[in-house]
Structure 1
Amino acid sequence: MATWVSILVPTLVYGAQSIEDGPAIESSYIRYFHEQHDSELSYADALENIKTQGQHSQSDILNFGLGSAPVWISFELHNAKATALRYLQIENSWLDKISVFFLHQGQLVQQTETGDSLPYDAQRSNRFFSFPHEFMQGATTVLIRIESDDPQVLPLFLYTPQEFTDRQVESGYTYGIIYGFLIALLIYNALLFFSLKSRRYLYYSFYLTSFIFLNAAYTGHGYQWLWSDWPQVQNTIIPVLMIMFALSGLVFASMFLALPSRFPRLDKSFNIFSFVLAVCLILFLLLDNLLCLLYTAFIGVVPFAVLMIIAGSVACFQGVKEAPYFLGAAVFAVISAVITAFTVSGLVEYNSLGFHAVEYGILLEAVLFALALAYQFRISQDEKVLAQRLADRDQLTGLYNRRGFNKLMKPIFSNAIRNNRNLCLMILDIDYFKKINDEHGHAHGDIVLLDLARALSKELRAGDLVARWGGEEFLLLLPETKHAEAIAIAERLVTTFSNHEVTTNQHTTQYTVSIGISELKRGNANFSDLLGSADHYLYQAKENGRNRVCYRVD
């Protein structure tokens, strides 16, 4: 809203900045003073107080921190030419009440009231607080009153119409890229959750969602697009979302690093801090105490940062494979969040990099967390493959067990039947193996079994399938092998093991084997029959004195 009046007030005498000098309002031209909380001054009284009590700004960007008293600031702008349109812009989106006065040669010519305690005004041209003004020739005094419990960060800029438009376009492209990337990443992880049913993707989606809304609130896009008719939401949304961001980050970290099972004491610290944050959030919302809520949000950033970095560091130290990605992401995101929190709260000197640090940090963090999740998924898949492979293998010898043998045998057996191919099966048993265990112990018996498994793997041909069938029994499936060829192989194995010794530190053992052979025929066209036939001939070999091969004689 704009009002034109003709009240004369004193002019200021501390110098004027030309409206042609560039967009930044130089600190050397700015004076300010703080108003008492219990009395709102008129602009004329404020000007007088600035002349008598005002202080020069020591920084190019005024920053009065959290819960500061209302502040009046003033500066003069000089126009040496004809009337010129300029846009005065406060590049901050969360100030509660703003009153701006333009005085030309001591005469009030325009007054505007705005702030996010009011519904978003459709006349506002963007997410910041902008004040277009036709500067007449000569000096114009600009007087601004700011009242807000939120951090009073006041980046002041004066733009020409073209600069103002360029600033809008640049901002639109920048945040289009940022939000586009984050929303695409959010959708991707949500889809991964629905397809893989892994909760780590769900919690990361919550974490991304909380940051997207936090950033939208922080930059002013949320008030501009999402809750423009609810100033009461805008009044509390930033600290609420800061706390939600921290809570969702802690939950994601706990799930991603498996803290409950790996590091239960650290997980307990996460839970205690999360509980305290949640209680403070609910309590101060119920009490409608915005200042305490703000302090909780800004102070809570520090332990959140510490816990995230500690969790990543501990996991790295303990050898968690995906932890380096998490630690790198946490370091970038958390440090950037702390820098931004300290910058807007007035704890450190304001600069544009610090103000936007959280946006840069979260983009890098999002990339690293995405890589971490992908790496964790790959590890999980590798572990599943390894577990499946181990499930198919005998733990002692490394040969296939019954499950692995049956899985590989079925297509070989089916192909032999379907295409009328040669196939033979052997059952090999160590003679008097119980006696070896009884005399030398089971540890020595295991060495004998391992020695036999290695020898079989070395002696058999590519394509042959060998498995430990149980105890001291081994199964050998020989595809594309005629009966006579299988007999020759079996005889060679018996000879090899009858001249073979196993030596340990305490014992030397010479063992022999017995082998039964069966051949695939029309009469035994299922594997059970083939196995039963081989077992029958193994029994004959043992009955006939062991250390021999038995088979069907035509």
Structure 2
Amino acid sequence: MIFSFPIYASQSIEKSFAVEPFNTRYLQEVDGIALHPNQALKGVRSKGIRSESDILNFGLGAPPVWVHFAVSNVSESEQLRYIQIENSWLDHIHLYVFKGGKLLQSNKAGDAIPYEENRTNRFFSFPHKFQPGETSVLIRVETPEPQLLPLFVLTENDMLERKINSGYEYGIIYGFLTALLIYNVLLYFSLQSRRYIFYSLYLATFIILNLAYTGHAFKWIWPNWPEFQNQMIPPMMMLFAYLGNLFCRAFLALPTKFPRINTSFNLLNTFMLCSVIWYALSGNYLTMLVTAFICVIPFALLMITAGVVACHAGVKEAKYFLGAAIFAMISAIVTAFTVSGVVEYHPFGFHAVEYGILIEAVLFALALAYQFRISQTEKIEAQRLADRDQLTGLYNRRGFQKVIEPIYSNATRNNRNICVMLMDIDRFKEINDTHGHSFGDLVLLDLSGLLMRELRAGDIVARWGGEEFILVLPETQHDEAVTLAERLIGVISNQVVQQQQLDVQYTVSIGIAEMSDPMDSMSNLIDKADHYLYKAKASGRNRVAYKVEPTRELVSEI
């Protein structure tokens, strides 16, 4: 069997049949005058325009068009084939099949008719048993949307195979995007960050928009609402761009970091919002559709501009955002230009926005994950800095309380030894007054470094305030703590702090307290150590004071 047509032939057709190119002709109606099928058949044969492309594409708002091609059945028996238009958004389609000047079949379809009344799948498919010889096929198409006509003549097996392949393809797309949508919704409820809810809405809008223009939504969700199917795509395109802008503003913090670009986003969003309101009031579908297609370009360019500026400003996660925006722009413009007839039809161009959104979704997910990691790192670092003394890097009082609580609880619960030392730099005010506060900071740094080197891994040291330091020694007997304190006194007294031509030595005084009662609190233990520190200072400094018997205190002579 030989089919002769200038339509796009799949590889399965080419393998099954000998396909010869035949010049399809088309004729557009003028002045709004509808033609009778017989008039159209005669007119298209005599003055129809010969198609120079495999796929007919007349662009947005084109007048109704009549398309004619012939099919030659050289076999001796009738053959069932399906004439399929693989486009889901055409409003009105009339198909006529002629043989020998006689009308054999007439069908009406389109998404202006409830789904169940004219379709068996999301495309427009017309079965016909072709008799031996030549048969003429005449199709009239009327729609304000892009008049794109990917025509196929398929066997039943061909049609089933294409349906299965398409199902796998869209199953992967929708499954991936839905999983990503759910993941980001959960992140929003967990983290309460606006960027996640805006991205979730952005993804959800694309899914609904894609379901609508591919015909899946008309088949699965609103099959009895053809008017809604016909009217919803332009405002959904606007909403998609609007939410994309909101996501970009939140992700890159445009209002605070890049106010000028944020103003451009606000202007575009205001224009799109006004356009949707105007459309709701006027009902001018074609103007709204053209506006929606035009807005794709500034939307994509603004996203890229924001990404470039953020990258230049050193925003680390912006590189992922920029990559996603570039893919989104290229894919959206390619698809928009393909379906609107600006460029010649190609299957890749038709599906570019779907491929692009998958790559964009992956890159945006990486950007969000990277941003989350950065924010968590910054949060951890901020918490760490909040618990640390900025000068010495030791724990401050806040950090000390967090660290010591479980250690002290373990000691009291298990009746383990624990000792506390309070250490104070002798005559530190004189050091500051004589040599300046910057030199005093050097002394503090020198002492903190020495303590970190001399103490054991399990010991805790913190800057208690000013020139005071606190040391907690878990699993340490009182005499062991005294020995350590006396060794520290000796080591510290031999330290020399240098600055330019200045060499200065300093000393410290230490008070030691041991936990004697499991019911004793850490604050009481610190108060006791502070009491002995006062004793050491009052006894001449550069020494250790502690309790040796229930009624006797000792100040060591170093």
1:47 equivalent among 16, 25, 41: 41
Q: 2: distance between equivalents of 1:98 and 1:420? A: 89
Equivalent residue runs for 1:112-131 within 5 Å? 112-131=107-126
Residue aligning to 1:145: 140
Indicate how the Cα distance of structure 1 residues 198 and 318 shifts in structure 2: closer, same or farther if over 3 A, else same. same
Task: Give 1:24 shift.
Answer: 11
Any conservation in 1 of the 2:90–2:141 contact (CA below 8 Å)? yes
Q: 2: distance between equivalents of 1:144 and 1:231? A: 21
Task: Give 1:28 shift.
Answer: 4.1
Q: 1: distance between equivalents of 2:85 and 2:214? A: 12
1:409 equivalent among 386, 404, 407: 404
Is 1:63 matched with 2:57?
Answer: yes
Deviation sequence 1:133-176 (CA, Å, 0-9, x none): 11111111111111111001100000011212222222222222
Q: 2: distance between equivalents of 1:204 and 1:239? A: 20
Indicate how the Cα distance of structure 1 residues 353 and 91 shifts in structure 2: closer, same or farther if over 3 A, else same. same
Any conservation in 2 of the 1:27–1:60 contact (CA below 8 Å)? no
Residue aligning to 1:12: none
Equivalent residue runs for 1:245-284 within 5 Å? 245-284=240-279
Task: Give 1:375 shift.
Answer: 2.4
Structure 1 stretches of 4+ with a deviation exceeding 6 A read 15-20, 22-27
Indicate how the Cα distance of structure 1 residues 234 and 26 shifts in structure 2: closer, same or farther if over 3 A, else same. farther
Is 1:550 matched with 2:521?
Answer: no
Any conservation in 1 of the 2:181–2:204 contact (CA below 8 Å)? yes
Task: Give 1:193 shift.
Answer: 2.0
Deviation sequence 1:81-128 (CA, Å, 0-9, x none): 211111001111111111111110221111112212222234411111
Q: 1: distance between equivalents of 2:492 and 2:201? A: 64
Gaps of 5+ in 1: 1-14
Indicate how the Cα distance of structure 1 residues 17 and 494 shifts in structure 2: closer, same or farther if over 3 A, else same. closer
Residue aligning to 2:290: 295
Mean CA deviation greater in 180-189 or 148-157: 180-189
Q: Which amino acid in 2 is paired with 1:320?
A: V
Indicate how the Cα distance of structure 1 residues 27 and 206 shifts in structure 2: closer, same or farther if over 3 A, else same. farther
Q: 2: distance between equivalents of 1:25 and 1:367? A: 41
Q: CA RMSD in A?
A: 2.1
TM-score w.r.t. structure 1 length?
0.93
Mean CA deviation greater in 309-318 or 271-280: 309-318
Secondary structure of the corresponding residue to residue 29 of structure 1: coil
Q: 1: distance between equivalents of 2:24 and 2:118? A: 28
Mean CA deviation greater in 379-388 or 520-529: 520-529
Q: 1: distance between equivalents of 2:395 and 2:118? A: 76
Task: Give 1:192 shift.
Answer: 2.3
1:377 equivalent among 372, 377, 386: 372
Secondary structure of the corresponding residue to residue 122 of structure 2: coil
Identity within the alignment, %: 58
Q: 2: distance between equivalents of 1:207 and 1:483? A: 66
TM-score w.r.t. structure 2 length?
0.92
1:79 equivalent among 73, 84, 88: 73
Secondary structure of the corresponding residue to residue 241 of structure 2: helix
Q: Which amino acid in 1 is paired with 2:284?
A: N
Q: 2: distance between equivalents of 1:225 and 1:410? A: 60
Deviation sequence 1:380-403 (CA, Å, 0-9, x none): 222222222111111111000111
Q: Which amino acid in 2 is paired with 1:213?
A: I
Mean CA deviation greater in 451-460 or 437-446: 437-446
Secondary structure of the corresponding residue to residue 553 of structure 1: strand
Q: Which amino acid in 2 is paired with 1:143?
A: L
Indicate how the Cα distance of structure 1 residues 37 and 424 shifts in structure 2: closer, same or farther if over 3 A, else same. same
Task: Give 1:31 shift.
Answer: 0.8
Any conservation in 1 of the 2:80–2:130 contact (CA below 8 Å)? yes
Task: Give 1:23 shift.
Answer: 8.6
Indicate how the Cα distance of structure 1 residues 235 and 123 shifts in structure 2: closer, same or farther if over 3 A, else same. closer
2:32 equivalent among 21, 28, 38: 38
Equivalent residue runs for 1:339-418 within 5 Å? 339-418=334-413
Task: Give 1:36 shift.
Answer: 0.8
Q: Which amino acid in 2 is paired with 1:239?
A: P
Q: 1: distance between equivalents of 2:52 and 2:480? A: 97
Task: Give 1:17 shift.
Answer: 7.7
Task: Give 1:313 shift.
Answer: 2.1
Deviation sequence 1:292-330 (CA, Å, 0-9, x none): 111111111111111111222222222222222222222
Task: Give 1:200 shift.
Answer: 2.1
Mean CA deviation greater in 174-183 or 130-139: 174-183
Deviation sequence 1:192-217 (CA, Å, 0-9, x none): 22233222221111011101111101
Residue aligning to 2:303: 308
Any conservation in 1 of the 2:5–2:21 contact (CA below 8 Å)? no
Q: Which amino acid in 1 is paired with 2:273?
A: A
Task: Give 1:506 shift.
Answer: 6.3
Q: Which amino acid in 2 is paired with 1:50?
A: V
